Amino acid sequence: MTRSLQAVAYRRPSVLESAADGQRLGLETSRGATPSGVRDHPRFFTGFLTTPQAASAGLLAVADVAAARYYQRQLRASLDPVVTGNGDRLRFESFSGCGGVYARLDVLEAGLDGDAVGHGTTNVDVNNPLREALSRMGSTDPLHLRVGPDELAVTTLDGPVVEKKVPLPDRWLRGFAEAQVVAAGFDLRAELPAPEAVRFLRSLPRGGGRGASGGARWVVPAGRGLRPSTRAVPGAVCLPGPERLIALQRVLRHATALRVHGPAVTGDTAATASAWEVVLPGMRLTLTLSPDASRGFSGEGGVLDALTTDEAAEDAELISVLLAWEPRVDVPDLAAASGLTAERVRAALVRLGTSGRVGYDVAEAAYFHRELPYDAERVERHNPRLRSARALVAAGAVALDGAVATVTAEDGHVHRVREQAGVLSCSCLWWAKYRGGRGPCKHALAVRMVRRGVAAEQAGQTERVDGGAR
């Protein structure tokens, strides 16, 4: 697994301080992207939180996930959450160290009382003393929030005085991309009122030493609650590694509802990802779980098809110019503004997601704009299946014969790739193991690249014939 050290620098640590008008929470920001370019310490908001205890608990839950590993727990995992100002809301995001849990707290307009929310994305410092202070928040304490440096810090401090260096694995970055692709296929499957939500979440196991829970569980909506099922049935939602929802315990006493999102399933569906959204006053906390506690999002392969085409890369460049940290990225509006079809816009958004430039909000069934404060462009370069597929194409290893193609691997083995109803299957061991459940294998990717290249060449020849060239 490729890893690098990420230096995250702040002017000073984030703190929770007492003041005459209540508590003051100062969240320090690092270097990040804004509409006016990259800034060292952007400021996104100053004002009050309308439900301070719920907001404190939600922020702690996001920090819990950032510091956690739900699989192979003995390994180190700690990275400060990402904050995005979307003009009308603040989003705090994190990924678990094992890459299998994505957390996001959306503090909506109703949860904020103060200045307009700025636009941009950066890291935010959530240190251990701050966590301890937030956990002691009183029920009647007003909470003033500042995201970014205050005027005093801007005028009196010359440079960063706090720097953290954390390991940043490529699979963690790929997870951000894969999580939004997976979530875009979810629908709302169940909504539980607060008492049923609390009862259900408190009944879940807390997990063992390695964080694995012995296979996927399924739940089915039943009345106002959820009942367990031994297998997938229509309407069911997979609950893979239920102990990974432990961070939701932080906010249960503030919850007004629990919404469960997942893909459509049938009786033979294998374990799937799912999203668990706790509705809070003026905000939402969502945890998205990978299909297994031992399986991170980085290997799901949902972005691979979008990365194989030059067309998607060119479309992504065009769409990126039209993004403006909007809280909802409207596909029809982008299609109209860009002149592209809705299908090409969605493919471009997937492509932008590989560098962390868009996320997906299941609550609103919409993409949103953000810019991860990391060198996320390396995600595409370091995707092993994509690299291998391009190497096969470059080596001339793909031979097309109608709906069947043969791919001669590096070791001399010949694999047959078949296409049926637009879906490629392969005779390799990868396909036999996952049956497309983790995206296409390298052989199918290579065939897809060659087919698209041939189709583009034929289209060019037709154009020349129609234009009079022979």
If asked whether residues 444 and 342 sit together in one domain, one would say no
What is the pLDDT, as a whole number, of residue 324? 87
- Write down which residue in 379, 395, 411 finishes a domain: 379
Residue 265: its H or E element = none
What is the pLDDT, as a whole number, of residue 379? 57
Q: How many CB atoms lie within 10 A of CB 191?
A: 15
At 380, the pLDDT band (50, 70, 90 cuts) reads low
CA nearest neighbour of 296 among 96, 469, 81: 96
If asked whether residues 76 and 157 sit together in one domain, one would say yes
Residues with Cβ within 8 Å of 243's Cβ and at least 6 positions away in sequence, in order, are 70, 204, 205, 206, 207, 208, 211, 213, 293
Average pLDDT score over residue span 173-197: 89
Helix axes 52-66, 128-135, angle to 10 degrees: 140
- Asked, for residue 178, whether it belongs to a domain, the answer is no
If asked whether residues 11 and 45 sit together in one domain, one would say yes
Burial class, 44, CB count within 10 angstroms (exposed 0-12 / middle 13-18 / buried 19+): buried
- DSSP line for 180-212: HHHHTT-EEEEEEEHHHHHHHHHTS----SSS-
If asked whether residues 275 and 314 sit together in one domain, one would say no
Q: Which two tokens stand for residue 268?
A: 């033979």
Beta bridge partner(s), residue 83: 92, 122
Beta bridge partner(s), residue 120: 85
Which structural domain, as residue segments, surrounds residue 322?
304-379
Q: Which amino acid is at 307?
A: L
Whether the per-residue pLDDT at 23 is higher than 50: the answer is yes
What is the pLDDT, as a whole number, of residue 395? 92
Mapping DSSP to helix (H, G, I), strand (E, B) and coil, where does residue 37 land? Answer: strand
What is the pLDDT, as a whole number, of residue 76? 59
pLDDT in tens, 203-237: 988 765 444 455 678 999 999 999 999 889 999 99
Q: How many CB atoms lie within 10 A of CB 296?
A: 26
pLDDT in tens, 271-284: 899 999 999 999 99
If asked whether residues 256 and 402 sit together in one domain, one would say no
Q: What is the CATH number of the domain that holds 349?
A: 1.10.10.10
pLDDT in tens, 428-437: 988 888 777 6
Beta bridge partner(s), residue 437: 439
Q: What is the pTM of this model?
A: 0.83
Highest average pLDDT, of 148-157, 166-175, 461-470, comes from 166-175
pLDDT in tens, 276-327: 999 999 999 999 999 888 877 765 555 666 666 667 778 888 998 899 899 9
Distance CA 106, CA 46 (A): 16
Average pLDDT score over residue span 328-356: 88
Strands 143-147 and 22-27: parallel
At 153, the pLDDT band (50, 70, 90 cuts) reads very low
- Asked, for residue 452, whether it belongs to a domain, the answer is yes
- Write down which residue in 167, 193, 222 finishes a domain: 167
Whether the per-residue pLDDT at 119 is higher than 90: the answer is yes
- Asked, for residue 174, whether it belongs to a domain, the answer is no
If asked whether residues 275 and 347 sit together in one domain, one would say no
Q: How many CB atoms lie within 10 A of CB 110?
A: 13
Q: Which two tokens stand for residue 266?
A: 């049938």
Q: How many residues appear in the chain? A: 470
Average pLDDT value over all residues in the chain:
84
What is the pLDDT, as a whole number, of residue 145? 95
Please give the sequence-ordered ranges of beta strands (E in DSSP) within 170-292, or none if there are none: 187-193, 217-222, 225-229, 237-239, 257-262, 274-280, 283-289
Average pLDDT score over residue span 124-132: 93
If asked whether residues 114 and 140 sit together in one domain, one would say yes
Percent of the chain with pLDDT over 70: 85
What is the pLDDT, as a whole number, of residue 157? 47
What is the pLDDT, as a whole number, of residue 252? 95
Distance CA 409, CA 416 (A): 11
Is-contact 258 200, C-beta < 8 A? yes
- Asked, for residue 172, whether it belongs to a domain, the answer is no
Beta bridge partner(s), residue 283: 107, 280
Mapping DSSP to helix (H, G, I), strand (E, B) and coil, where does residue 224 land? Answer: coil
Average pLDDT score over residue span 239-259: 95
If asked whether residues 312 and 372 sit together in one domain, one would say yes
What is the pLDDT, as a whole number, of residue 209? 47
Distance CA 219, CA 135 (A): 32
What is the pLDDT, as a whole number, of residue 463? 43
Q: How far apart are the first and last CA of the chain?
A: 51
If asked whether residues 13 and 160 sit together in one domain, one would say yes
If asked whether residues 37 and 155 sit together in one domain, one would say yes
Average pLDDT score over residue span 70-99: 85
Distance CA 404, CA 131 (A): 57
- Write down which residue in 356, 379, 402 finishes a domain: 379
Q: Please name the residue that has the structure tokens 């050290």.
A: 5
CA nearest neighbour of 82 among 39, 125, 26: 125
Please give the sequence-ordered ranges of beta strands (E in DSSP) within 281-321, or none if there are none: 283-289
Whether the per-residue pLDDT at 455 is higher than 60: the answer is no
How far from 459 is each of 177, 316, 387, 403, 453, CA to CA, in Å? 31, 22, 26, 19, 10
Q: What is the CATH number of the domain that holds 265?
A: 3.10.150
If asked whether residues 333 and 199 sit together in one domain, one would say no
Number of domains in the chain: 4
How far from 385 is each of 382, 429, 439, CA to CA, in Å? 9, 14, 10
- Asked, for residue 180, whether it belongs to a domain, the answer is no
Is-contact 425 289, C-beta < 8 A? no
What is the pLDDT, as a whole number, of residue 222? 93
Distance CA 336, CA 332 (A): 6
- Asked, for residue 1, whether it belongs to a domain, the answer is no
- Asked, for residue 355, whether it belongs to a domain, the answer is yes
Distance CA 297, CA 293 (A): 10
| CA quadruple 317, 319, 320, 324: dihedral, nearest 10 | 160
Of 122-131, 144-153, 164-173, minimum mean pLDDT range: 164-173
If asked whether residues 90 and 234 sit together in one domain, one would say no
What is the pLDDT, as a whole number, of residue 215? 62
Q: Which amino acid is at 48?
A: F
